[in-house]
C-alpha cells in the first residue's frame, strides 16, 4: 500500500461505503452547496453554447461598414478584413474573443459563422481597456448594432431575426452601455404561463421602458437576492429568463437547467478585481472611519469584519431615479417568483417580504472602482461624482476605454446641456447621440443618494481613497 493512497486513511471496504454515502447525500440534500455546478463548465457554456436563434451571420457582420457614416466608411473600405472587424467591434462595444480575435467574446459563433448573443453581451466588459471576469459591458451599443444589422440584412435580402423585429416593437437601449433588459423580460414573460407554456395574448403597450446598467457579477456571492430592488431569490433557474424567446418551449428550459447550475457556479466563483494603481494608506484608513459612520449601516463592512446587510432603502429615502422601481409592479414580480423560474413560489419563501420591495438594495461595494458608471441606471460616471451630488454632470460622454484614476471611474467629457441640445438639433446621428448620457431624460436622473453631503471635503477625499481598496 502506498502512503499517499486514500486506503492509507481508510480500509477499502469502508471507503466504498463512505463514497456511496456521499453520493447519496449529494442527491438527497437539495441546494447548490452539495451538488454544485462547475465554474469552468459555466464559463464554457457562456462562451460556446448558443441558447437563442442566431442574430446575424459572418457575411452580415463583415458588411456592416457599408452602412456606416463617413469618414468611418471610407476608412473601413481601405482597411483589411481583420481591421474592419476590429472597427466594427469597437463601434458596437464588443471585445475580441481571447482565443480568436476575429470574433467577439459576447457572441457565440458557430462553425457556419452564425453569431448568437449570449449573457456576456451585457455581462462581460472591460475596465481601463482590460477584460475582467464578470464586469458589465458598459460599452455595448445594442440599439445601434441591431439597427445596422437590419439595414445590411435588407441589402443582402436576408430575413429578420428576433432582435431585428423586437427592436421595432420596443427600445433596446437609448444610451450605449445600458439596456432595457428588464422590460424585455416583462414583455417576454407576458406570453407564458407559470409553467412557461407559450400562451397567445395581445402584446402590452403599457410598459414603462427604461435603461439599466447591468451590475457586476461578483456581487452574486455576497447577495441572496437578484436585481436593483432585490425582489427575486437567487437560483440557477432565475438566471435563465433571458432565454424566453418563442423558439424555446418549456422542455428547453428543463434540458438546459443543468447548464445554468454551472453558470451559477461561475458567478459564485467570481471575485472583485483589485485597484491597480497606488493608494494612500493613511488617507484610506481615515476614510474607513468615516465610511463606517456614514455608509456602513447600508453598505456593510469590508476587510476582516466582512459583513453585508443587503439593506433595502425606501424609494423616497434613497431618492435616485424611481422609474425602474415603478416600472416593475408587484404583479410582475409575483408572476416571476410564482413561475417555473422560482420553483412556483418555493424559492421566494426564503426571502419573505423582499419579494415586495419598497425601494432599492444598497449594493455591495467590493471592486466598486471597476464598475463605473454608478447607480442602477448608470447615471453617474465616477465615485467622485457619487460623493459630490451637486457636481454630477447633466450630460456626459465617456471615452471608449479611458479610466479616470483621480475621480475613480469613467473618463468623460461633460458638454453643457446647451451645447448638447444644439448638436442634437443640428442633426447629430442617433448612433452618436446614444454615446451621450442625458440625465434629463426619463429614467436617467443622476439625483438622489445625497448621504455624502453630510461629509466635509476632506472626509469625502478620504472616503474616495478608501473606496479604491474595497
Query: Which of positions 371-410 make contact with ligand HEC (CB under 6 A)?
Result: 371, 374-376, 383, 386
List, in order, residues 6 or more apart from 242 with CB less than 8 Å away.
119, 181, 184, 185
320 binds ligand HEC (CB under 6 A): yes
In angstroms, what is the C-alpha Rg of the chain?
24
Q: How far is the CB of 418 from ligand HEC (least distance, A)?
A: 27
* Alpha carbon separation from 238 to 219, 249, 350 (Å, rounded): 16, 16, 14
Q: Which of 109, 362, 397, 408 binds ligand HEC (CB under 6 A)?
A: 362
Q: Which of 235, 300, 357, 363 binds ligand HEC (CB under 6 A)?
A: 363
351 binds ligand HEC (CB under 6 A): no
170 binds ligand HEC (CB under 6 A): no
43 binds ligand HEC (CB under 6 A): no
Binding mask 421-450 for ligand HEC (x = CB under 6 A): ----------------------------x-
CB nearer ligand HEC, residue 3 or residue 331: 331
First and final C-alpha spacing in the chain: 49
How many residues sit close enough to ligand HEC to count as binding (CB under 6 A)? 44
Judge if the upstream peptide bond of residue 71 is cis by omega within 30 degrees of 0: yes
Grid cell locating 461? 477625499
> Are 419 and 428 spatial neighbours (Cβ–Cβ below 8 Å)?
no
Grid cell locating 153? 440584412
313 binds ligand HEC (CB under 6 A): yes
Q: In whole angstroms, what is the distance from residue 29 CA to residue 18 CA?
A: 16
> Are 124 and 137 spatial neighbours (Cβ–Cβ below 8 Å)?
yes
Query: Which of positions 220-249 make contact with ligand HEC (CB under 6 A)?
Result: 220, 223, 226-228, 239, 242
270 binds ligand HEC (CB under 6 A): no
218 binds ligand HEC (CB under 6 A): no
Q: Which of 52, 94, 295, 323 binds ligand HEC (CB under 6 A)?
A: 295
CB-based burial of residue 394 (10 Å sphere; 0-12 exposed, 13-18 middle, 19+ buried)?
middle
Give contact residues for ligand HEC (rule: CB under 6 A).
Answer: 119, 121-123, 179, 181-182, 212, 214-215, 219-220, 223, 226-228, 239, 242, 263, 267, 294-295, 297-299, 313, 318, 320, 360, 362-363, 365, 368, 371, 374-376, 383, 386, 449, 451-452, 455, 463
Amino acid at each position: 500500500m502506498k502512503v499517499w493512497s486514500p486506503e492509507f486513511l481508510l480500509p477499502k471496504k469502508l471507503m466504498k461505503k463512505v463514497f456511496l454515502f456521499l453520493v447519496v447525500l449529494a442527491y438527497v440534500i437539495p441546494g447548490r452547496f452539495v451538488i454544485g455546478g462547475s465554474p469552468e463548465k459555466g464559463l464554457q457554456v457562456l462562451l460556446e453554447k448558443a441558447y437563442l436563434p442566431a442574430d446575424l451571420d459572418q457575411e452580415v457582420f463583415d458588411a456592416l461598414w457599408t452602412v456606416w457614416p463617413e469618414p468611418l466608411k471610407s476608412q473601413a473600405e481601405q482597411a483589411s478584413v481583420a481591421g474592419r472587424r476590429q472597427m466594427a467591434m469597437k463601434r458596437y462595444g464588443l471585445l475580441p474573443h481571447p482565443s480568436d480575435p476575429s470574433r467577439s467574446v459576447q457572441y457565440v459563433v458557430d462553425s457556419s459563422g452564425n453569431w448568437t448573443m449570449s449573457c456576456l453581451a451585457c455581462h462581460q466588459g472591460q475596465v481601463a481597456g482590460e477584460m475582467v471576469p464578470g464586469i458589465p459591458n458598459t460599452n455595448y451599443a445594442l440599439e445601434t448594432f441591431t439597427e445596422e444589422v437590419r439595414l445590411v440584412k435588407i441589402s443582402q435580402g436576408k430575413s429578420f431575426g428576433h432582435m431585428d423585429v423586437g427592436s421595432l416593437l420596443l427600445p433596446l437601449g437609448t444610451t450605449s452601455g445600458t439596456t432595457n433588459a428588464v422590460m424585455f423580460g416583462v414583455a417576454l414573460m407576458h406570453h407564458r404561463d407559470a409553467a412557461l407554456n407559450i400562451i397567445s395574448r395581445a402584446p402590452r403597450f403599457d410598459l414603462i421602458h427604461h435603461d439599466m446598467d447591468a451590475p457586476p457579477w461578483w456581487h452574486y456571492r455576497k447577495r441572496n437576492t437578484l436585481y436593483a430592488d432585490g425582489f427575486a431569490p437567487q437560483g440557477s433557474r432565475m438566471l435563465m429568463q433571458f432565454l424566453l424567446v418563442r423558439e424555446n418551449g418549456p422542455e428547453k428550459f428543463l434540458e438546459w437547467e443543468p447548464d445554468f447550475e454551472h453558470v451559477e457556479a461561475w458567478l459564485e466563483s467570481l471575485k472583485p478585481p483589485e485597484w491597480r494603481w497606488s493608494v494612500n494608506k493613511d488617507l484610506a484608513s481615515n476614510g474607513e472611519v468615516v465610511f463606517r459612520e456614514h455608509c456602513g449601516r447600508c453598505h456593510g463592512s469590508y476587510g476582516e469584519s466582512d459583513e453585508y446587510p443587503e439593506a433595502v432603502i425606501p424609494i423616497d429615502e434613497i431618492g435616485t431615479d424611481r422609474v425602474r422601481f415603478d416600472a416593475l409592479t408587484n404583479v410582475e414580480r409575483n408572476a416571476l417568483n410564482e413561475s417555473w423560474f422560482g420553483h412556483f413560489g418555493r424559492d421566494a419563501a426564503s426571502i419573505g417580504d423582499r419579494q415586495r420591495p419598497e425601494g432599492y438594495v444598497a449594493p455591495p461595494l467590493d471592486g466598486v472602482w471597476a464598475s463605473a458608471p454608478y447607480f442602477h441606471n448608470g447615471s453617474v460616471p465616477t465615485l467622485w461624482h457619487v460623493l459630490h451630488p451637486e457636481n454630477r454632470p447633466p450630460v456626459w460622454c465617456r471615452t471608449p476605454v479611458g479610466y479616470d484614476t483621480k475621480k475613480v471611474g469613467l473618463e468623460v467629457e461633460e458638454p453643457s446641456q446647451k451645447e448638447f441640445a444644439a448638436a442634437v438639433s443640428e442633426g447629430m446621428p442617433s448612433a452618436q447621440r446614444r454615446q451621450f448620457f442625458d440625465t434629463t431624460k426619463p429614467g436617467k436622473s443622476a439625483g438622489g443618494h445625497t448621504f455624502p453631503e453630510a461629509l466635509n471635503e476632506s472626509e469625502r477625499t478620504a472616503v474616495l481613497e478608501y473606496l479604491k481598496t474595497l
